[in-house]
Amino acid sequence: MVRLATSFDASAIATLFHETVKKVNSRDYDVKQIAAWAGAAPDVAKWRARQAGRTTWVFEVGGTVRGFAEFGANGQVEAIYVHADHQRKGIASALLVQIEEEARRLGGARLYTETSTTARGFFQKRGFKVLKPAEVDAQGSGFTNFRMAKPLL
Ligand SMILES: CC(C)(COP(=O)(O)OP(=O)(O)OC[C@H]1O[C@@H](n2cnc3c(N)ncnc32)[C@H](O)[C@@H]1OP(=O)(O)O)[C@@H](O)C(=O)NCCC(=O)NCCS
């Protein structure tokens, strides 16, 4: 089920992010890029602090977090990560439905994201289109991400 995250979820979110980048995004990015992206270890304080400026949902099964997503200002999907062992089960889709509902409730006309090569197929399937590739500098390991948008009808 999808529910709003609390500060108590920060540890699970930090660990899931760290593991998913290392196990899933490593298909599409090199070792240096993955090290810069994942960080040396799960950063619980960072993920707890991020909750202040965003709406964060988790997808939970039996008390275990299997995915999370962040919705920020100006219609931005700021993060969406699914546990490496639970890919392609509809978890990210369920999280995105929540974001779309919230965006509509706030009167937004479009959703935006700056996403990875890994997630591009997912966002395309969910109705996003690439606006332009964007160079993102993650601690000096610059790599290409894609700015994508979806109109909310
Ligand atoms: C991208 C990601 C969030 C998708 O999560 P997921 O729960 O596996 O996605 P879903 O199961 O809801 O996928 C829905 C549909 O999107 C499409 N899709 C998902 N992953 C895809 C991929 N790697 N390539 C192509 N299409 C994909 C498929 O059509 C899929 O439906 P299907 O499985 O019935 O074919 C997940 O792969 C992930 O955690 N990636 C690493 C983290 C990341 O890069 N996040 C984005 C940066 S913010």
Supply 68's token pair: 């999370």
Candidate of 61, 76, 125 to mutate for ligand 1, largest count of ligand atoms within 8 Å of Cβ: 125
127 close to 35: Cβ distance less than 8 angstroms: no
The predicted model scores a pTM of 0.95
Task: Work out the angle at residue 139's Cα, subtended by the Cα atoms of residues 137 and 84, and round it to the nearest 5 degrees.
Answer: 85
The sign one gets for the Cα dihedral 142, 42, 47, 90 is positive
* d(CA 149, ligand 1 centre) in Å: 16
* d(CA 60, ligand 1 centre) in Å: 17
Question: Of the candidates 11, 4, 21, which has an alpha carbon nearest to the alpha carbon of residue 46?
Answer: 11
Q: Quote the strand ranges of the chain, DSSP E.
A: 2-4, 55-61, 64-71, 76-82, 110-115, 129-136, 143-151
Beta bridge partners of 59: 2, 67
For atom 26 of ligand 1, the residue with the nearest CA is 121
Distance of CA 136 to the CA centre of its chain: 15
Residue 63 main-chain phi, psi, to 5 deg: 85, 0
Domains present along the chain, CATH in parentheses: 2-114 (3.40.630.30)
Query: pLDDT by residue for the chain (153 residues), tens digit each?
Result: 999 999 999 999 999 999 999 999 999 999 999 999 999 999 999 999 999 989 999 999 999 999 999 999 889 999 999 999 999 999 999 999 999 999 999 999 999 999 889 999 999 999 999 997 666 655 556 677 889 999 997
Tell me what pLDDT residue 81 has. 98
88 lines ligand 1 (CB under 6 A): yes
121 lines ligand 1 (CB under 6 A): yes
Tell me what pLDDT residue 93 has. 98
Tell me what pLDDT residue 1 has. 96
Tell me what pLDDT residue 107 has. 93
118 lines ligand 1 (CB under 6 A): yes
